Amino acid sequence: MGGAESTPSPPPKKEFDKEWRKSCWSKVERDAMVAALRNFELSDPDVGQLRCLLHGPVGAGKSSFINSVNNVFQGRSTHNALVAAASGTSFTMKYKTHYFQGRKGEKRLPFAFNDVMGLETQKNGLHPDDIINALKGHLPEGYEFNPLHPLSDKKEEYIQNPSLSDKTHCLVSIVTADTISRMNKDVIDKMKHIRAEASKLQIPQVVVMTMPDKACELVNWDVKRIYYSKAIKEKMQICSNELGVPMNCILPVKNYHEEGMMDDDMDILILNAMTQIVNFANDYIWDLQQHA
């Protein structure tokens, strides 16, 4: 006599019962974060702008993140940084500072991004020594990247005695949620080397994780489910393990890409990331002042 057929197990739940990272999704909170960043007071006003250096693999969304931040503050679609549609090579070829315009009649915002050529495997893409040059403030505006030859201190354009304004105040690594688990070892090793050099300089570091909607269908359906998602938490844990970054310094954002209209929920993720980046950068400047 045959035994009863076993009942198949239900599929595992794709989300937690409650948020594993608290977030407020109200428009009031969104507008308060925008106002706080617009009016942010620097520890050292002479610095002018907090300089945040973005780096990461080709196609991770560095330029899209710059544009997304700009969209939030301009309240419309912008193209501050040129974005390549889909290619395996870096679209950013020169070292450029991206400033953010204040409201009409106001000065520019108190933070800026530097975008660099993307990291690729082996001897392709940005040479890690040029990122280290940027961290230390040695790269001039408009410097053209050469994957084989980083800027030498013998070159005329090399900034020999950089000011605090020239130096990087926060290193922002950009990775994609959907590809972090299969990121090339060469690229990971380059990123870890750059992080180690930034740590020697005591420069704070965060990771912005883009494209969460491609890594989780729940987030694709509703971005507010991001901190309920098991898949996103798992991707962040992989990122933490691979790059050695604490979980609370990994900031998921959905960049503006195909959206024609502004979206408050996307803005809130971008603003959460920007608030942490700006605070870390300002803390770094304050700390330098204490030891001057």
CA distance 246 to 222: 26
The pLDDT value recorded for residue 92 is 66
Residues 90 and 186: their CA atoms lie apart, in Å, by 16
Residue 117 has pLDDT above 60, yes or no: yes
User: Please, where are the H alpha helices in 52-184?
Assistant: 62-74, 128-136
Under 8 Å between Cβ of 170 and 204: yes
pLDDT of residue 5: 54
Contacts of 291 (CB under 8 A, 6+ apart): none
Residue 238 token pair: 């992989």
pTM, full prediction: 0.91
Checking if the pLDDT of 105 tops 80, the result is no
Output the six-digit token pair for 117. 């050529």
Predicted pLDDT at 123: 74
Q: Which two tokens stand for residue 82?
A: 């040129």
Question: Among all chains, which residue has been given the structure tokens 């965060």?
Answer: 206
Cα dihedral sign for 72, 77, 82, 85? positive
- Model confidence pLDDT, tens digit, residues 214-242: 999 999 999 999 999 999 999 999 999 99
pLDDT above 50 (res 87): no
Instruction: Report helix, strand or coil for 217.
Output: helix
Where do runs of H (alpha helix) occur along the chain? 27-38, 62-74, 128-136, 185-200, 212-215, 217-221, 230-243, 264-290
pLDDT digits (tens, 9 = 90+) for 57-86: 988 999 899 999 999 999 998 876 665 544
